[in-house]
């Protein structure tokens, strides 16, 4: 009887786990599309700002759908994924978060937003490792709305978190301060098949799921790390020709002629 009961409990748990896996992968897939849309379409200046900040970002929090509605009493919420970059420029697998907030004030309308929050400092990333993190309480947040012509260069100066968003609906802008981010441990467990904390996923990079590779590739494509200073190269040997097979498709390869190689003194 006990064995039968245990089997029934196991069967009852399987659909929930499958649902969590599907929810997690769906959130990752929508986050990939959000990165592509926010970093390729809209106001050209704002898109360039977003790419420039992404190149310097320590991590990125992608929220493909933050739904906000209100009349006098407003609220917002949605799912997000957090990825971080290591010293070599590689992006981690995603950790899962939920965003929720409530706000009072004269608010009329319904808004569906795609949000990309760029984590610009280790201090902000460390704060996000907590099970709950309130935006604006532990780190300053500067907001620029992609496609609205908002200048991000000045707004984001010195910010720990820089947010870019595409919004639909009747609200004129976005206000993320006060929003509460909460770790979704059940989605982390379902996606990686084990209990694992956000710090182990995005900082220690202990796990990998190939379903997140398109998201990581999109972040690398649109926000590769800024070039580090290149040490002085050794003089090239005779007959050397640069290998251009890895040249980016976006434009011609820039090259500088090397000085002639001095022969041995006689």
DSSP symbol at 13: H
Region 107-128: what's the mean pLDDT?
80
157, pLDDT greater than 50: yes
Mean residue pLDDT across the chain: 73
- Per-residue model confidence (pLDDT) at position 92: 97
User: Are the C-beta atoms of 113 and 134 separated by less than 8 Å?
Assistant: no
Strand 141-145 versus strand 59-84 pairing type: unpaired
DSSP symbol at 211: G
Count CB atoms within 10 A of the CB of residue 225. 16
pTM to 2 decimal places: 0.70
232, pLDDT greater than 70: no
Nearby residues of 52 by Cβ (< 8 Å), 6 or more positions away: 153
Please report, for residues 6, 118, 214, 224, the alpha-carbon distance to residue 217 in angstroms, rounded to integers and kept in the order given.
42, 17, 5, 10
SS3 70: strand
User: How does pLDDT run across 191-225, given as a tens digit for each residue?
Assistant: 999 999 999 999 999 999 999 999 999 999 998 75
Is residue 42 very low, low, confident or very high in pLDDT (cuts 50, 70, 90)? Answer: confident
Nearby residues of 130 by Cβ (< 8 Å), 6 or more positions away: none
- Per-residue model confidence (pLDDT) at position 17: 64
Give domain limits for the chain. 11-219
User: How does pLDDT run across 77-95, given as a tens digit for each residue?
Assistant: 789 999 999 988 999 999 9
- Per-residue model confidence (pLDDT) at position 233: 40
Q: Between these two residues, 21 and 240, which has the higher pLDDT value?
A: 21
- Per-residue model confidence (pLDDT) at position 73: 52
Weakest mean pLDDT among 9-23, 53-67, 136-150: 136-150
Is residue 13 very low, low, confident or very high in pLDDT (cuts 50, 70, 90)? Answer: very low
Is residue 153 very low, low, confident or very high in pLDDT (cuts 50, 70, 90)? Answer: very low
- Per-residue model confidence (pLDDT) at position 138: 57
58, pLDDT greater than 70: yes
- Per-residue model confidence (pLDDT) at position 68: 67
- Per-residue model confidence (pLDDT) at position 235: 45
- Per-residue model confidence (pLDDT) at position 48: 87
- Give how far the C-alpha of residue 33 lies from the chain's centroid of Cα atoms, to the nearest Å: 12
Region 148-161: what's the mean pLDDT?
55
Region 173-190: what's the mean pLDDT?
83
């Amino acid at each position: 009887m006990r064995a039968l009961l245990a089997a029934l409990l196991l069967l009852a748990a399987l659909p929930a786990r499958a649902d969590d896996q599907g929810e997690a992968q769906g959130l990752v897939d929508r986050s990939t599309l959000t990165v592509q849309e926010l970093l390729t379409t809209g106001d050209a200046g704002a898109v360039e700002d977003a790419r420039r900040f992404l190149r310097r970002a320590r991590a990125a929090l992608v929220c493909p759908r933050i739904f906000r509605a209100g009349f006098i009493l407003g609220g917002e919420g949605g799912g997000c994924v957090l990825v971080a970059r290591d010293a070599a420029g590689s992006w981690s697998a995603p950790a899962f978060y939920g965003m929720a907030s409530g706000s009072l004030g004269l608010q009329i309308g319904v808004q569906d937003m795609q949000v990309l929050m760029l984590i610009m400092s280790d201090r902000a990333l460390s704060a996000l490792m907590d099970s709950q993190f309130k935006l604006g309480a532990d780190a300053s947040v500067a907001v620029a709305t992609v496609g609205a012509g908002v200048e991000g260069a000045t707004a984001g100066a010195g910010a720990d978190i820089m947010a870019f968003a595409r919004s639909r609906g009747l609200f004129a802008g976005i206000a993320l301060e006060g929003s509460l981010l909460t770790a979704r441990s059940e989605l982390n467990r379902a996606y990686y098949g084990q209990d694992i904390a956000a710090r182990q996923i995005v900082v220690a990079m202990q796990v990998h799921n190939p379903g997140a590779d398109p998201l990581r590739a999109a972040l690398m494509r649109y926000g590769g790390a800024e070039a580090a200073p290149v040490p002085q190269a050794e003089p090239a040997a005779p007959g050397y020709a640069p290998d251009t097979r890895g040249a980016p498709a976006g434009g011609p390869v820039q090259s500088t002629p090397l000085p002639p190689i001095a022969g041995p003194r006689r």
